[in-house]
Amino acid sequence: MQFLSPMYLFGLLAAGIPILLHFLSRRRPVDIQFGPLRFLRPTQERQMRRLSLRRLLLLLLRVTIICLVVMAAARPTLTGGLARLAPTGHATSVVVLVDASASMQAQLQRGTMFDRARTEVAAIVGQLSGQDEVAVALFSDVVRPLFSEFVRDGQLVLAQLQEARPDDRATDYVTALSGALDLLEKAGSPYREIFVVSDFQEAAADSVRLARLHERLRQSPGTTVLLRAVKPEPFVNRQVADVERPATLLRAGETAEVAVQVRQDGDADLPVQLFLQVGDATVGETELQLAAHGTRRHGFPLTLPAAGDLAGSARLRPDRYPPDDERFFVLPVSQRVNVMVLAGLGAGDGERDPLLFLRAGLDPGESGEGDFALEVVPAERMDVTHLQQTRVVVGTDIIDLGAARLAALTDYLKAGGTMLLLCGDPGVRAYTNEKLLPSWTAARLGPFRNGREGTQRLIVSARDHPVFTGFEDDELATLEEVELRNYYPLPETVGRSLVRFADGGAAILEVEVGLGRVILCGFHTAATAGNLPYSPMFLPLMQRLAGYLATAGWSRYGRQAEVGSSLAAEAPPGMNPGAVLEVRLPDGATVPATLNATVTPPRLELALAEVPGAYTFLVDHKPWALCAVNVPGSESVRRFQEPEAFRKQYGGGDAARVTALAGDSAAEAVRQARRGYGIHRWLLALAGILLVIESLVARRVGAANAAAVLLLVLR
């Protein structure tokens, strides 16, 4: 049973009134000396027993009457088996939410999960009366109504549903239920029902949005939610779980390893055949033996052709859930990465010059063949043009950047740019803490340590970070032998500490700034700061830091996205403003792309990637950048919530208004659940009958007729 106005149920406290009166009315009796007590006793025993029963009956009647009246006020509706006894007769506004997420593409013996969902919807719609109005909406992480308004023609609904197809997006029940409540705002009836037809695959739910949904449900007292599960058939799902690209910059002609993770959820060992495809060619093939519920990682060596983006996919032979049997990836093959070095204090000061070793670290030998093409720019001369042409900014001991430059740098970072900022000079603390960092992050430089307390060793605190993955333990141990004399400790509670000092405080800290990121070092690379420049790990560390930043953020390289998200790529430097901008979709069709010139550097954008595959941004019909789009991994989980758990999670405090439709027959389940109109009148009628009985019993007991009092109060 559900209550449309549950707040009235607080009135049940009034049931305590007759109980209170019952005990208060038991006054102290008067003492009477009475001779013929022997004649009173047998009568008294008999009568008092009967009287006690009658008084108890009277009390029960009064409590029941109050409860019935209060419950009637709370507008109860029957659900479950008893519901079939109650008549129907009121118009209801119904929203049918049909799960069209990627998981509904799973194949069954006959048809797909989505086909079965259609059948369930047909059964639900078939149970609606002529006066009911219905809206059907598909949902995944978005809600797609089939009609712009409620309709009363069930056949029309079913015909429209036949045309509908599931998408490749994730499941988001909060969005779905919120969308249904939005639709119900246009409903004509106060009696509202939301049917959710879904496999109820587990999906993440943000607590804030969930709380908002609970609040909306609470404010929709006439709305009930009915859950109809589409039962999946068991099968062993094989999937390409992930494709790992090298964390370093890739150069043409090199051989890189593309590692593919394959998983299966069966209870027995299973051989799978894995293919690696680049472009139209299959460049790798292997057979792997997967243990029960096991994951295997296999690396395909891949010789990288000329510079540019390389799109490919790892795929298995299709099983009954095809969307996760192929995973797309993009490998960025570059020639050189433009790095702008913003030079601050100490430049040209001999061994005190941090630039000396920094340049050596990023471009060893200054051969011009390294990964990074350095451009050293004095901080006070930097302008926006520099920022548009660089992928990584490296700043060392920057002071007095100027307000305009700082604003441009901040915009660059917030739009997705990256920066490595080294602070090791005792003179930079004030400017860094008061100007630079407050524009970007809550992190601040700690007090400067000048070596009087002794040297300080480094400890790698994030060995799983891409900067350090691939290093051997002895290499990291070598890094940890570095001793620094001059440094600033950084806070460990802001951002992510990659390396910290032995006596506390972060040495290398990664913080996000808008869409971009900054790696902040509490030291610089001058020889006077410590022996870091002389360490064998100096060069790899610098290369990794810059390489990581070059591949992080919004950069066109390595862009991986999920279906349902937007795509963006950095616009070509110096692009003709009138250039034709397009995106080639995985099916070969092209759609227009847009240019977002409000960010630095400007971006090419596609609002929505609707299917998995490789997307190519075209500039004047020539390929410029690639993006790989995959089906959300959450859709491959194949863990399904029990309706009861779903009811509690999404119903919140109003879980009673969320009902699971059990049983093989959706029509029968719906028939049972939808009844219940007029039960409040039934309760009032029953209360009336009980009032009459109460007055009769009260007369026999010799008590005041509470029924009359109650009627008076009600009137």
Cβ proximity to other proteins, 56 vs 711, nearer residue: 56
Closer by beta carbon to other proteins, 31 or else 473 = 31
* Smallest distance, other proteins to C-beta of residue 63, A: 22
For other proteins, which stretch binds (CB under 8 A), given 23-31, 96-104, 143-151, 604-612? Answer: 23-31
Task: Using alpha carbons, select from 652, 672, 554 the residue that is nearest to residue 211.
Answer: 652
- What is the nearest approach in angstroms of other proteins to the Cβ of residue 57? 14
Nearest distance from C-beta of residue 36 to other proteins, angstroms? 5
Q: Is the peptide bond before 601 cis (omega within 30 degrees of 0)?
A: yes
Spatial strand order in the sheet of 250-251: 250-251, 326-334, 308-316, 270-278, 281-290
Rounded Cα gap, residues 440 and 94, in angstroms: 49
Contact present, 452 and 495 (Cβ < 8 Å): no
Q: How many angstroms separate the CA atoms of 606 and 537, rounded?
A: 41
Q: How far is the CB of 24 from other proteins (least distance, A)?
A: 14
> For residue 56, what is the enclosing H or E element?
helix 37-73
Comparing CB distances to other proteins, the nearer of 31 and 453 is 31
Name residue 682's amino acid.
W
- Of 282-321, binders to other proteins (CB under 8 A) are none
Q: Which residue has the tokens 């007729």?
A: 705
- Minimum CB distance to other proteins, residue 701 (Å): 8
Which is closer to other proteins, CB of 23 or CB of 109?
Answer: 23
Query: To the nearest whole angstrom, how small is the minimum distance from the Cβ of residue 26 to other proteins?
Result: 8
Q: CB 46 → other proteins: shortest distance, Å?
A: 7
Residues 526-555 that bind other proteins (CB under 8 A): none
Residues numbered 497 to 516 that lie near other proteins (CB under 8 A) are none
Residue for token digits 């999404």?
650
Per-residue contact track with other proteins, 598 to 637, x per CB under 8 A? ----------------------------------------
Residue (45 or 351) nearer to other proteins, CB: 45
Rounded least distance, CB 22 to other proteins, Å? 14
By C-beta, is 47 or 566 nearer to other proteins? 47
- Number of residues this chain uses to bind other proteins (CB under 8 A): 23
Min dist. Cβ of residue 53 to other proteins (A): 12
Q: Does 89 bind other proteins (CB under 8 A)?
A: no
Q: Which residues of 364-377 are buried (b: 16+ CB within 10 A; e: fewer)?
A: eeeeeebbbbbeeb
Residues whose CB falls within 8 Å of the CB of residue 553, separated by 6 or more in sequence, listed in order: 416, 417, 418, 515, 516, 517
CB of 52 to other proteins, least distance (A): 11
- 41 vs 648, beta carbon nearer other proteins: 41
- The CB density around residue 512, as the number of other CB atoms within 10 Å, is 16
Contact 177, 97 (CB under 8 A): yes
Cα angle, residue 23 at apex, residues 18 and 25 outer, rounded to 5°: 90
- The residue length of the chain stands at 715
Shortest spacing between CB 216 and other proteins, in angstroms: 56
- Identity of the residue, 39 or 534, whose beta carbon is nearer to other proteins in the bound complex: 39
Applying the rule CB under 8 A, the residues between 26 and 65 that interact with other proteins are 27, 29-44, 46-48, 51
Sign of the alpha-carbon torsion through 313, 318, 323, 325: negative
Question: How many other β-carbons are positioned within 10 Å of the β-carbon of residue 528?
Answer: 18
Least Å distance, CB 19 to other proteins, is: 19
Q: Which residue lies nearer to other proteins by CB, 47 or 131?
A: 47
User: Do 170 and 132 meet the contact criterion of CB atoms below 8 Å apart?
Assistant: no
Q: Which residue has the tokens 């593919």?
A: 260
Q: Which stretch binds other proteins (CB under 8 A): 24-32, 354-362, 518-526, 650-658?
A: 24-32
Q: 21 vs 667, which CB is nearer to other proteins?
A: 21
For residue 46, give the amino acid letter: R
Smallest CA-to-CA distance from 193 within 637, 528, 673 is with: 673
- Residues ≥6 apart with Cβ < 8 Å to 390: 338, 339, 340, 375
Residue closer to other proteins, measured from CB, 10 or 39: 39
**Residues between 674 and 713 that touch other proteins (CB under 8 A):** 701-702
What letters, b where the CB count within 10 A reaches 16 and e where it falls short, cover 406-426?
bebbbbbbbbbbbbbbbbbbe
Q: Which is nearer to other proteins, 27 or 110 (CB)?
A: 27
Interatomic CA distance for residues 575 and 598, integer angstroms: 15
Tell me which residues touch other proteins (CB under 8 A): 27, 29-44, 46-48, 51, 701-702
